Structure 1
Amino acid sequence: MRIAFVAPLVLLAGCATAPHQIRSACAIFEQRDGLFNNWRRAAERTEREYGVPVPILMATIYAESGFNPYARPPRTLLLGFIPWTRPSSAYGYSQALDGTWSRYRGETGHWGASRTNFADAIDFIGWYHAQSHVQNGIALNDGYSLYLAYYYGHDGYTQGAWRGRADIQRSAQRVSNMALTYQSQLRTCGG
């Protein structure tokens, strides 16, 4: 009787944590693909719907949250030591802001979508990157530019807010490099 109760809790606990090996797309999918939770299928569905390659989708999550479903920006400190407010409302796998997440839910009709649900978060990223393609003319396979538009928003990207920001350009390059790494890995594990 006790085992029947503990087994579902163990399964649920595994869904609420970040995968351990996040530098390997194959390992991520192996760790998170199961009867009730298939990350690979969610990523491939998003690629089909929006045209953004799975490696770029996954690299965006890697950069934004490290696959932590409850990621948030660190709190600022009042008087240098009292935890205070957060610099933004970014949350979840995608680090989507409250307003952008609301817009996504309204435009897609995914009213029940949650930023802590991998399938919803990767769909959001695909949707946002597709918006960057339409609004900013960024190729759907250009992980570097897609990340800059993701980080700064469509208007910020158009205005070149990222120019002169070497740290953000390095982050975008890391996303691009990680997407290439994921792409190579996925070829070896049936992706």
Structure 2
Amino acid sequence: MKQAPVLLLALLFIVLTGCTTSPPKDQNNLCNIYREYPRWYEDSVDMQKEFGTPLHVAMAIMKQESSFVADALPPRDYLLWVIPWGRVSSAYGYAQAQDPVWGEYRSDTGNGGSRDSFDDAIMFIGWYATGTRRQLGISQWDTYNQYLAYHEGRGGYSRNSYRSKPWLMQVARKVQQQSEVYNAQLKTCRQELEVERNSWF
């Protein structure tokens, strides 16, 4: 009988970990990502319809931010370089949304949502890019500048904070290139994905 609690805990762990979606096997191919997780394609289409942010732009940002890890966390912060002292920010989940801006998103959209849920996270990225276009005039198709504003916040972008961070501009170019690859790939499989999507209805 003493083993019963241990077995229950083990079973609970298996159930909970089984609920977390594993990152896509081929993260460099958007067609393969959507083939592996067809529901993600549906969620991405819904996001584009709602906010106008292209699928390939949002997915490139998500790949950079979390590598599609549902419960991704930022690096640990250390006191005196050795003592763990929390995290460097409150960023969490697929979109690495921080607490304050996630709160804004929930308030603005009325979406309760969860940062470790793909559909909520992709909607968040679409919403943020729309706000960036509205406030800063950056096209939602301009992955490079959208990513800089996403990383630095719109206020930081307005202050040109990224100009003192050559590494960040390099990362933004990488995200732009990834979005271009994703866009080219999507053109080759969009019809296939749409047929699969329509078959659900």
Q: Could you say what secondary structure the match of 2:129 adopts?
A: helix
Distance 1:15 1:178 in 2: 25
Decide which moves more: 71-80 or 149-158.
71-80
Q: Superposition pairs for residues 147-158 of structure 1, below 5 Å?
A: 147-158=147-158
Alignment match, 2:126: 126
Decide which moves more: 86-95 or 155-164.
155-164
Distance 2:18 2:72 in 1: 17
Decide which moves more: 38-47 or 77-86.
77-86
2:20–2:70 contact (8 Å) kept in structure 1? no
| Identity of matched residues, % | 38
State the AA in 1 paired with 2:140: L
Alignment match, 1:52: 53
Q: Shift in Å at residue 14 of structure 1?
A: 6.7
> Which runs of no fewer than 5 residues in structure 1 stay unpaired?
1-8
Question: Quick check: which has more Rg, 1 or 2?
Answer: 2
Q: Is 1:16 the equivalent of 2:21? A: yes
Q: Superposition pairs for residues 75-94 of structure 1, below 5 Å?
A: 75-94=76-95
Q: Could you say what secondary structure the match of 1:162 adopts?
A: helix
> Which runs of no fewer than 5 residues in structure 2 stay unpaired?
1-13, 192-201
Q: Shift in Å at residue 78 of structure 1?
A: 2.8
Q: TM-score, normalised by structure 2?
A: 0.84
Q: Is 1:110 the equivalent of 2:111? A: yes
Distance 2:85 2:158 in 1: 32
Cα deviations by residue, 1:12-61 (Å, 9 ceiling, x for unpaired): 8274221121111011111112xxxx000110111111111100000000
Q: Could you say what secondary structure the match of 2:180 adopts?
A: helix
1:77–1:84 contact (8 Å) kept in structure 2? yes
Distance 2:50 2:170 in 1: 29
Distance 2:157 2:80 in 1: 34
1:15–1:32 contact (8 Å) kept in structure 2? no
1:133–1:140 contact (8 Å) kept in structure 2? yes
Q: Could you say what secondary structure the match of 1:85 adopts?
A: strand
Alignment match, 1:66: 67
1:59–1:179 contact (8 Å) kept in structure 2? yes
Question: In structure 2, do the counterparts of structure 1 residues 15 and 31 end up closer, same or farther at CA, with 3 Å as the change threshold?
Answer: farther
Q: Shift in Å at residue 77 of structure 1?
A: 2.3
Q: Could you say what secondary structure the match of 1:190 adopts?
A: helix
Alignment match, 2:98: 97
